[in-house]
Amino acid sequence: AAKRSGKNRTVLFEPHMHEQALARVDTERQLRVALREKQFALHYQPVMHLASGRCVGFEALLRWQHPQRGLLTPGAFLDVAERSGLIVPLGAWVLREAQRQLQEWQAAPELSGLFVSVNLSAQQLGVEAGTPGDLLTMTFPPGLHLEITEHSLADTPEALRAMRALHRRGVPLMLDDFGTGFASLSAAQRFPVGTLKIDRSFVSFLPGDARQTAIVASVVTLARHLELNVVAEGVETPEQARSAQALGCGFAQGFLFSRPVPAAAAAAFARAHPLGEDRPFGGRGT
Ligand code: C2E
Ligand code: MG
Ligand code: MG
Ligand code: MG
């Protein structure tokens, strides 16, 4: 990891860079062990219908039960998993596990209407057709949704093609971290998605002045015209929830309602906020 700086093109190699490189290699080695030894788990965070307070589904979020370091969130390992390509087998495990969990919940009448969404990395959309990890060789039961960021679509030339194919197969797609890419508005229009998830960075300004709420208000207007669901991400306070709803966000997710929790706790949460016969998460989202 040598770095060129300034016009002198001085090659710098700081000791801390060496340490970082070693740490990456070590994390990669440990990730391989973790995959073999099944040290991963999914936690689930509820997505709420703001008008009714009902839980409409869950986002599955990857966790690594590290033997020494304890429970790790993706910030500690996702980058290494992506750069090493390990995200492809890891992501395939996530999809299988989310599907298994969804089917278990669908067998319980009071949980059967919930969706589970899974985050995809760009590498998973770029897997060569027919090789291991190819999404199009997998089965997607109704209720399984996929979350994709605009960034990951920009990264991989094959990504858009894969996404269109998934859409044709009827897999509901969500644009994650919406608003953080520089082409968000055109992305919403060009990509066959049913749901926009407004990034936490915009939600954190709520309730704000007109300037601070402008992005959320614009996304809601866009979503109305395109008949998309809007989820406000990272809602932490009742004021943020009220403001998001007043601005027209139908759905929200955040620590205010629940942190991501293991499956049993998620199911208990859903039972306490039952969906009943309602299916508010509609439109092109389902
Ligand atoms: P994301 O998809 O945008 O997921 C939302 C993140 O925000 C989660 O972090 C969640 O715990 C956190 N969050 C939710 N509500 C709040 C809140 O009210 N306040 C704050 N401060 N944070 C909140 P997490 O679980 O650490 O995941 C981080 C990112 O890692 C995810 O962002 C997603 O991009 C990625 N990721 C998670 N699981 C997977 C996976 O299975 N596969 C892939 N490829 N990426 C994943
Ligand atoms: Mg997500
Ligand atoms: Mg997000
Ligand atoms: Mg995010």
**ipTM here:** 0.98
Return the ∠ at Cα 23 (arms to 119 and 261), rounded to 5°.
Answer: 35
Instruction: In whole angstroms, give the CA distance from residue 197 to residue 251.
Output: 9
Residues measured by CB to lie within 5 Å of ligand 4, the ion: 177
Give the mean model confidence (pLDDT) for residues 226-251: 97
Give the ligand with the smallest distance to the CA of 174: 2
User: Which amino acid is it at 89?
Assistant: P
pTM surpassing 0.80?
yes
Q: List, for residues 144-172, the tens digit of each pLDDT value.
A: 999 999 888 876 778 888 999 999 999 99
Q: Work out which ligand 1 atom sits closest to the CA atom of 74.
A: 30
Q: What b/e string do you get for 32-47 counting C-beta neighbours within 10 Å, with b at 16 or more? A: eebeeeebbebbbbbb
Listed range (2-6, 180-184, 193-197) with the worst mean pLDDT: 2-6
Per-residue pLDDT band at 191 (split at 50, 70, 90): confident
Closest CA to 102 of 60, 138, 47: 60
Instruction: In whole angstroms, give the CA distance from residue 144 to residue 150.
Output: 20
Please name the residues in contact with 37: beta carbons below 8 A apart, sequence gap of 6 or more.
none
Which amino acids bring their CB within 6 angstroms of ligand 1?
45, 61-62, 73-75, 78, 87, 91, 94, 119-121, 147, 176-177, 200, 234-236, 253-255, 260
Instruction: In whole angstroms, give the CA distance from residue 124 to residue 136.
Output: 10
Q: Work out which ligand 1 atom sits closest to the CA atom of 61.
A: 38
